[in-house]
Amino acid sequence: MEYPHGCGFDVKKGRGRDHMIKSVLALLAALICAGPASAQQATIVKSDMQIDGLDPGIKIFVREKIAQGNTRFANDNIVLFLHGATGPSTCDFDLQYKDYSWADWLVKRGYVVYMGDYRNYGGSTREAAMDEPPAKNQPLTRSFLALRDIEAMVNHIKRTRNVQKVTLIGWSWGAMMAGYYASLHSENVEKLVMYAPLYNFNDHTNLGPGSGLQNKRKPTEFNFALGAYRVASEAANTARWNGEIPAENKDEYRDPALPAAFWSECLATDPTSNSRTPPSLRAPNGVLEDSF
């Protein structure tokens, strides 16, 4: 399979499920590469900031990446990445391992790239309940609240860069949130990229009824005893990832050092990660409740 010229992909033809995955990536690449082109050799400038959320006391972490000297800010070259249910935006989209940063890849092609963390993730405000035992509080960061955080991010980008629209790229739960936001604020969205959103929802292994998160007496309801947040370990994350790779030898499909590199960057976003054995990442449970 050949990817759009100039998009930096070189993938051999595949079959079956692997071929389907490559087809999806080809379409994704075509969508992104329809935008501006630029020299791939660029000095990248990174700016981390906290912006005001829409709710009192909430600060939202935002990272901006731009090529030094790039002064073009238009509807078609502004991208906002939206992260999934467990890891925050920086390890998902700006992994500083080899050439795995999707953000840097886009910056080198003329895009101005943003990524942000919903409340209780990464560099954004962590509410007091995140420092208490999970069972003491209800699930945090429900989808309707994450939506407000996305709105704050988009408003910030529009205001500071004097644009009317941004392209949203969401991964996993972030894809669902991107679609949620676009359905309510289509006037602010130039393009919508939904990468690995939930579909075929019945009996999902990680979310909703049948996943082990349900109230055993009422299987269609969330088990609120799970509380405000959960902790995720590298072993659990890698095991789930392995389950999604069809090859028996995972190293044939994935760089063997990648899981540890990814998880190391995720853990670095949680100041409490090393206070637990093994080190683990806190993630709010609002997304789990909303999957029911």
Q: Where are the chain's structural domains?
A: 1-34, 35-290
Predicted TM-score of the model (pTM) = 0.86
State the pLDDT at residue 15. 41
Contact 11, 87 (CB under 8 A): no
Closest alpha carbon to 284 in 124, 152, 148: 124
Q: What kind of fold does domain 35-290 have according to CATH?
A: Rossmann fold (3.40.50)
Kindly give the confidence (pLDDT) of every residue in the chain, 292 residues in length, as a single tens digit, with 9 standing for 90 and above. Answer: 233 333 433 333 334 445 445 555 555 555 555 555 555 688 999 999 999 999 999 999 999 999 999 999 999 999 999 999 999 999 999 999 999 999 999 999 999 999 999 999 999 999 999 999 999 999 999 999 999 999 999 999 999 999 999 999 999 999 999 999 999 999 999 999 999 987 665 666 677 676 777 777 777 788 888 899 999 999 999 998 999 899 999 999 999 999 999 999 999 999 999 999 999 999 999 999 888 8
Cα Dmax for the chain: 60
Specify burial of residue 9 (Cβ count, 10 A radius: 0-12, 13-18, 19+). middle
Q: Which two tokens stand for residue 290?
A: 């909303």
